[in-house]
Structure 1
């Protein structure tokens, strides 16, 4: 005799659907962990890589890596973009972006100057952007993810040199500049002479947490099977002559 009672079709369908959903979520979290591992690997490899000529990767950057490049030119005066609501080591602040014009090029590249903490909750004081020609070097990477966008482009309504943004959209910033921009941004190398903090570890959920979530979803799938078995197992019947 089977140790399970015959379940209803609804119970079977509900259990199978639950297991499939939980397993799929677990696999998705493992995929996300692999993506974060790859992202961290690219940053680590790029930070130790030799400098490359920016012109060779500017328009068509390699998808599989983040090159470390050197660019000679000058910052475009009168334009800074303040990415608000940023954190570093638990401290709130901003990232400051400025367009940099390479010599002999009709495109500019958006440069992340680094992180500045807020001062008593107020916006930090920004040092002036250098106006003299110079050579800058850093990692040439995709712009930070936009995430969920609420509202439209606020740039056209803002005046003055400094404009606040809640996400870095290269297309919208290019339209505000009335100047073409390259598709990636430049994260400047650390410089002890600047007040900007430049530690370019991507601000993403660590892979270990994704794996923990995956374990949680797989545990839910196992729990669904166990609950199904417990609810449908046959109870042992006592012999008639057995005392209650």
Structure 2
């Protein structure tokens, strides 16, 4: 009985923990959605030490390092083929580069790499969300950037450490995801990146743990129910 109670309590505790994780992820989604409509703050206020679990909308001035583009060819929202385009931004008087997510560029079906639109020379003023880089996941084959001699460079994951090594300059710890622009050729529909698990999966695991707790109790009751004594025929 003690083992049954302990196992059921453990499963219930794990289920509650998964529900707490789901609620936390839901709060991240709400904060992410609210940040998209917040007034921008100067980039320097959050550049080096962005607030944990927050996604500030920032305003930044710089110039493009236009000949150093990176093409992420496995974005989550890619259904037709295409790439997510990242280009470094040089900030005045700063040694670090800011990697900017220009958005998703759909493929044409006739070419392996879409033709990138030219970026404006000189200084530019940008607005967008200062976000953690997309999840890396399982890295296979090592650093793919170092083996490529021509730009733009293709990658199936975005590792800021490898990008910084490839550029020969340090990067800021997050990337700038530009605001949506109807006039831009890029599709900028930035959804929150759950590199581990979305809230729905946490709830599914919670249901699983609660089911285990119920199963343990049912098995205990079935094995220990009182059985009627068998009748014996008397002659």
- Name the TM-score class by shorter chain: 0.7 to 0.9
In structure 1, list runs of 5 or more residues that go unmatched. 1-6
1:221 aligns with 2:221: no
Superposed CA deviations along residues 113-163 of structure 1, whole A, max 9, x for unmatched, are: 001223338433322233332111100111112222223111111111111
2:145 is aligned with 1:175: no
- 1:24 Cα deviation after fit: 5.1
Equivalent of 2:222, from 226, 230, 234? 230
User: 1:139 aligns to what SS in structure 2?
Assistant: strand
Which one of 121, 137, 141 corresponds to residue 151 of structure 1? 141
* Aligned partner (choices 149, 161, 186) of residue 151 of structure 2: 161
Supply the distance in 2 between the matched residues of 1:172 and 1:89 (Cα, whole angstroms).
23
- How many residues matched? 231
Residue 101 of structure 1, aligned match among 90, 110, 121: 90
- For the residue of structure 1 that corresponds to 2:60, the secondary structure is strand
**In the aligned structure 2, how far is the partner of 1:46 from the partner of 1:64?**
12
Structure 2: runs of 5 or more not aligned: none
Q: Report the Cα offset of residue 25 of structure 1.
A: 4.3
Show the counterpart of 1:3: none
Shift of 1:168: 1.6
Q: What is the CA distance between 1:53 and its match in structure 2?
A: 0.7
Q: What residue number does 1:73 align with?
A: 62
1:15-94 → structure 2 map (5 Å cutoff): 19=8, 22-23=11-12, 25-88=14-77, 90-94=79-83
Looking at structure 1, the residues matched to 124 and 12 of structure 2 have their Cα atoms a distance apart, in angstroms, of 54
RMSD over aligned Cα atoms: 2.5
The Cα of 1:210 is off from its aligned counterpart by 2.3
Which TM-score applies when normalising by structure 2? 0.86
How does the TM-score come out when normalised to structure 1? 0.83
For residues 22-58 of structure 1, the C-alpha deviation after alignment (integer angstroms, 9 at most, x for no partner) is 4454244323312321221221121111111111211
Tell me the CA shift for residue 18 of structure 1.
Answer: 5.5
Distance of 2:169 and 2:73 partners within structure 1: 23
In the TM superposition, 1:123-134 aligns within 5 A as 123-134=113-124
Distance 2:159 2:200 in 1: 29
